[in-house]
A and B are shown apart, each in its own frame.
Chain A
C-alpha cells in the first residue's frame, strides 16, 4: 500500500504535516489542523489506517497538534477508534501525543481522548527550547 506524505502549510488554510508509512507502521500528524475540507482530508487518513491494520501486527501513531478545530477533533476520535478496534482484534498499538508543556487545555483534551477512546495514550510534554 502507498504511504501518505502531506506537507505542513499555512498558506490559505492550516494543514498539518502527515507521514503515514506502511513499511514501518509509523504514522505522524504534526502541526495545526484547520482545513477547507476536513472530511475529505481525514477520510483518506482513516481509510488508510483501516487498510493498514487489516494485515498488520502493530502500529505507532504519533500526534503533535498545537491547534485543531472541532471538525478535526471528531476525526481524531475516529482515527483513535480504528486503532482501538485493531487493539481489540489483537494488534499492538502505541499512541504518543506531544503537547506544549504550558498548554493545560491540550493536556485536558488529551486526557478526554484517553477516556473517550479507551486507548492508552502516552502524553509527552515538550517545549520549543
Chain B
C-alpha cells in the first residue's frame, strides 16, 4: 500500500512572489533588542537612496516601530535564556519616491483604544506641536507619571515627517491585529 503523501498546505512560491512586491526586508518572529539591532543593520544595507542622512532616519524609524512590537505585542515566546519577548511582523518596502515601514502584532483589545487615541493625536498635530507633545511626555516620564508611554510613536512621526497609518483587524473576541505603517519620502533626505 502506497502511503499517501501529506500535502504541505503552504506555497512558498506564492509567498516569495508576494514578498517580491518591492519588499526589501521582511521578518516574522520574536523581536527583542538583539534581533532588532541585526535587522536594523541589514535594512541599512538595502536602503541606498539618500546617503547617511537617509540611513539615519530609516534606522531611527525602524528601531522605534520595532520596539513598539517588542514591548506591546500580546503574543510572546520564551527565548533560550528564559527571557520572554514579543512576537510580530516587520516589513520594509520601497515604492517610487518613498520607503514604507509596516509593523504588525496581536494586541489585547483592552489595550487598543489608548494606542489608537495616541496615534490620532499624533496625526492631528503639526511639527511644532508634536515636538511640544514629545517634551511633555518626556517630562511626565521623568517625573514617573503614568500615561507617558508611546513616545516612540511621536518620534516615528517626527522622524518620518509623515502621519501614522493604523489598521486594526479583529482576531477573536479578546484580541486584534494592530498594524502601524509609516512612509518616509526620499524628498526628506534632500531637505535640511
Q: Which residues of A contact B (CB under 8 A)?
A: 10, 12-14, 34-36, 66-67, 69-71, 73-74, 77-78, 81, 100, 102-105, 108, 112, 115-116
Contact = CB atoms under 8 A, between A and B. Distances in A.
Contact of A67 (B33, B34, B59, B151): B59
Nearest to A80: B142
B33 A74 contact: no
Contacts of B134: 112
15 contacts: A12-B34, A34-B33, A36-B34, A69-B63, A69-B67, A71-B67, A73-B138, A74-B138, A77-B139, A77-B141, A77-B142, A81-B142, A100-B52, A102-B52, A116-B135
Interface stretch (B16-24, B112-120, B152-160, B174-182): B152-160
Q: Range of interface residues on chain B?
A: 20 to 34
A123 to B, nearest CB: 15
User: Chain B's interface: helix, strand, loop or mixed, by majority?
Assistant: helix
Contacts of B37: 10, 12-14, 34
A112 B135 contact: yes
A38 to B, nearest CB: 9
A112 B131 contact: yes
Contacts of A36: 33-34
Contacts of A71: 67
B60 interface: yes
B73 to A, nearest CB: 17
A67 B63 contact: yes
A71 B141 CA distance: 10
Given A13-B33, A67-B63, A116 B52 contact: no
Contacts of B135: 112, 115-116
Residue with the greatest number of chain A CB neighbours at <10 A, chosen from B33, B37, B152, B155 = B33
A104 B59 CA distance: 15
